[in-house]
Amino acid sequence: MFKNILLDNLTIGILVLDSNLEAKYLNKKMKNILKEQNIDEKYLNFLVKDFSLIENYQVKTYDIEVENQKFVQIEFHEIIEKSEYKLVTMLDTVQDFIFYLDSKGRIEYFNKAYAKYIGKSYLDIIGKKESEFFPKEMAEKCEANNRKALENGNFYEEENFQERWYQTFKSRVDLGNNDYGILGMVKEITDSKKKTMDLKEKVYKDLLTGVYNRNFYEEKVKKLLEKKKNTIFSMMLLDIDKFKEINDNNGHDVGDLVLKKISEVLKRNVRKIDDFIIRIGGDEFSIIIEGTLKELEKIYRRIEKDILKENISTDLKFSISVGMAEREKEECLNSLYKKADIELYKMKDKKQKIRKREILNESNRII
C-alpha cells in the first residue's frame, strides 16, 4: 500500500503506523536509521512509546488517510547542525509559503504554511510539482514562472487567484556539481492590495458622483490616447442647462442631487467597461469611448430618453447640452476636447436662439 520508489529515495526516515500503532511501512532511510541506532525492527512497537531512544533526529507526526483507513505518518529529520535545525523550525513559524523545487520542478522542501494552504499530507506533496495542485490555467502559469526563474535567475509577480492577492518570488539556487533548483516564496497581500486599490480609487474617482474625476482625465486618458495613436476615439462633452439657476433658486443640496442623478443616467447608458464617464468639473461631464462618432450618437440618444423618463418620475427637472467629436489619427486629447467643446457651444447657442424666439412670440401674443 505504501511502497513507493520516491519515498525510498528521501533523505528523511518515514514510518507509518496503523490505528493500533503497529508499523505498516518503513522507507529505506528509516531502516538505515534503525540499523545506525542498533534498534531491531522487531522492537518498533516499543520504540513508538519513546521516540527519544532515537538520537539526533527531529520527529514530526501527521495523520493521514489511505484507502479509507487512518494512519499516523512519522518523519525522522536528521539534525546535522544545530543551526540547520533552528532554521527549519523558524521557517515553520513563518506565515508565508516557503518551498524548494529541484531542477525538474519537483517539491523537495516546504514549510507548514505551504502544506496548510495546499491542504494535503506530506506524502501527497513531497516529490510532486506545483502544477499538480492547481487548476489548469494556474498550473501552466506556475510552470512558466519556473522556467523564467531558471533562465533569468529570478521571477517576481503579483497575481490574483481565487479572489485573493499573492506576491510570488522565485529564485534560482545553484548548489554546485550541476545541482540546482528554485527557492520559492509566496506572500498573501490581499489586505494591503485592497488598501492600495481603494486609495487609487479615491485618487481617480469623484466623491460626489462616483464617476472618474479630472485627475483620471489628465493622467490616464491622456496616456491612453498617446499609447493608441491610430485608434479611433470619440468624445462627448455635456453640461446641465441652467445649472447655476438650479443652485441659486433651490440651493446647492438640490444641485448636488441633480449631479448625482445625471451621473446615474450616464452610468446606465454607457455600457462598455473600457468607455469612460468623467466629471471634468462643476456640471461639466465627458464621455470617452473607443469607437466612432456614430456609436457615441447612439449612446446620446439613450441618455436623452432616460432623462425624459427621469423628468416624468421625479421632481428634479433638468436637461443637458452636448457636443461630440471623433478623433483623427494621432490627435491629442486637448485637440479632441476643443472640437467637442465647439460643438457643445453650438448646441447651447442654438437653444438660446430658440428660447429668445419663444419669448418674443409670447410677447407678441400678449400685445
Q: Is residue 197 part of a domain?
A: no
Residues 320-331: tens digit of each pLDDT? 999 999 999 889
Residues 214-259: tens digit of each pLDDT? 999 998 999 999 999 999 999 999 999 999 999 988 899 999 999 9
DSSP 172: E
Q: Is residue 250 part of a domain?
A: yes
Distance of CA 233 to the CA centre of its chain: 28
Q: Is a pLDDT exceeding 70 seen at residue 42?
A: no
Judged by DSSP in three states, 55 sits in coil
Q: Say whether both 166 and 32 belong to one domain.
A: no
* pLDDT at residue number 363: 66
Q: How far apart are CA 336 and CA 216, in angstroms?
A: 16
- Nearest Cα neighbor of 92 from 108, 76, 113 is 113
Contact 134, 142 (CB under 8 A): yes
Within 10 Å of residue 18's Cβ, how many Cβ atoms?
Answer: 13
What single string gives the DSSP state of each residue in 242-291?
A: THHHHHHHH-HHHHHHHHHHHHHHHHHH---TT-EEEEEETTEEEEEESS
Q: Is a pLDDT exceeding 60 seen at residue 46?
A: no
Within 10 Å of residue 127's Cβ, how many Cβ atoms?
Answer: 17
Please report, for the chain, how many H helices and E strands are present, in that order.
14, 13
Q: How far apart are CA 277 and CA 236, in angstroms?
A: 10
Q: Say whether both 266 and 315 belong to one domain.
A: yes
Within 10 Å of residue 161's Cβ, how many Cβ atoms?
Answer: 15
Q: Is a pLDDT exceeding 70 seen at residue 52?
A: no
Q: Which amino acid is at 49?
A: K
Model confidence band, residue 263 (pLDDT cutoffs 50, 70, 90): very high
**Residue 165 exposure: Cα atoms within 13 Å on the Cβ side:** 11
Contact 215, 281 (CB under 8 A): no
DSSP 130: G
Identify the CATH number of the domain in which residue 209 sits: 3.30.70.270
Q: How far apart are CA 77 and CA 208, in angstroms?
A: 62
Q: Say whether both 220 and 356 belong to one domain.
A: yes
Q: How far apart are CA 14 and CA 73, in angstroms?
A: 7
Identify the CATH number of the domain in which residue 126 sits: 3.30.450.20
Q: Is residue 361 part of a domain?
A: yes
Determine the average pLDDT of the residues in 185-208. Answer: 80
The pairing of strands 107-110 and 97-102 is antiparallel
Q: Is residue 102 part of a domain?
A: yes
Q: Say whether both 260 and 307 belong to one domain.
A: yes
* pLDDT at residue number 306: 94
Q: Say whether both 233 and 321 belong to one domain.
A: yes
Q: How far apart are CA 120 and CA 133, in angstroms?
A: 9
Question: What is the torsion angle, in degrees rounded to the nearest 10, for the CA atoms of residue 205, residue 211, residue 215 and residue 220?
Answer: 110
Q: Is residue 196 part of a domain?
A: no
**Residue 180, all three cell numbers:** 540546482
Q: Say whether both 318 and 253 belong to one domain.
A: yes
Final residue of a structural domain among 138, 165, 190 = 190
Q: Say whether both 141 and 247 belong to one domain.
A: no
Q: Is residue 177 part of a domain?
A: yes
Range of the domain at 181: 82-190
Q: Which amino acid is at 262?
A: I
Q: How far apart are CA 221 and CA 130, in angstroms?
A: 40
Final residue of a structural domain among 80, 112, 141 = 80
- Nearest Cα neighbor of 17 from 44, 38, 54, 51 is 44
Q: Say whether both 73 and 86 belong to one domain.
A: no
Q: Say whether both 361 and 281 belong to one domain.
A: yes
Higher pLDDT, 367 or 10: 10
Q: Say whether both 158 and 272 belong to one domain.
A: no
* pLDDT at residue number 199: 66
Question: What's the total number of domains in the chain?
Answer: 3
Q: How far apart are CA 82 and CA 104, in angstroms?
A: 30
Judged by DSSP in three states, 20 sits in coil
Q: Is residue 131 part of a domain?
A: yes
The DSSP bridge partners found for residue 164 are: 161
Q: Say whether both 221 and 73 belong to one domain.
A: no
Which of 27-63 are b and which e, b meaning 16 or more Cβ less than 10 Å from the residue's Cβ?
bebbeebbeeeeeeeeebeebeeeeeebeebeeeeee
* pLDDT at residue number 41: 65
Q: Is residue 198 part of a domain?
A: no
Q: Say whether both 185 and 226 belong to one domain.
A: no
Contact 184, 98 (CB under 8 A): yes
The DSSP bridge partners found for residue 171 are: 154, 183
* pLDDT at residue number 193: 78
- Nearest Cα neighbor of 243 from 227, 261, 229, 226 is 261
Final residue of a structural domain among 36, 64, 80 = 80
pTM of the model: 0.51
Which of 175-179, 186-190, 197-201, 206-210 has the least mean pLDDT? 197-201
DSSP 231: S
* pLDDT at residue number 361: 73
Determine the average pLDDT of the residues in 135-152. Answer: 89
